[in-house]
Structure 1
Amino acid sequence: MSAVGDGTYIAVQRLYAALAAALDEERFEEAAALFTDDAELVYAAGRPPVRTRKAILDDLVEHNRTRPDRQARRRHWFGQIRLAHADDGGFTSDAYALIVSTNPGESPAIMVSGAVHDVIVEKGDSYLFSSRSVRRDGAQ
């Protein structure tokens, strides 16, 4: 694997920013559209993998519907992105991930701290996630 150019790195940062904004604003169709049709999303903590863009959308909607802190404002942050060319022509990426939650009248709190491992592919003039593995700090 080799390092990528600045233009590609910036484009991938925009991909991460678009995903964070879509999740923060609960625009789940927009978030799911940032994954390939055959994408795979693997969570930590024993949740089964989610496969296909449609299943990812359904999972995001269901998770949001059933979360106990529906009134809380969530902010997603991805940083310290380490991006490299993969042998198949795509890219691999490792990044730190935080989810900060703020309930009305309370101070922000970090709900999730961890990392993501992503496989990213170029589609035309944009980039999409083809797989994501989420690793929570402290999870078994």
Structure 2
Amino acid sequence: MALTPETLPRHELAGLHVRVVESTDPSKVGIEGTVVEETMRTLLVATEATDEAAVRASGATREQGDGVKRVPKGGTTFEFLLTDETAADRKEAGTTSERADSAGSTREDVAYVTVDGGTLLSRPALRTENGAEHRWQ
């Protein structure tokens, strides 16, 4: 199954660019980077200052990597960046070609998909096998 805005909750999230748009924990809002690992209840996000290859290769826990943030899925709204062919159809609910905070700079080859973290609350393997409900914002 292709990674599209509609099927995003049913796919592996590691490797996708993500930004925290809303959270019950105000300190998490604005965290942005690449998802390096996913657990049942959290996403580990390597911020731009982090060398993702070094984090993956390290024997230490991911939290010990400088710039890696653990973000809870529950109570959080995420904005994922999809590129190239996955961004082709931006007409679907929950997608846009520009960020919520952008000043009108649109790119034709990207789509920003907003997902309620509650839809991602499950073991990644089970979520990708069984599918997930779509709760777009």
Structure 2 length-normalised TM: 0.30
* Larger of the two Rg values belongs to structure: 1
Indicate the structure with greater helix content: 1
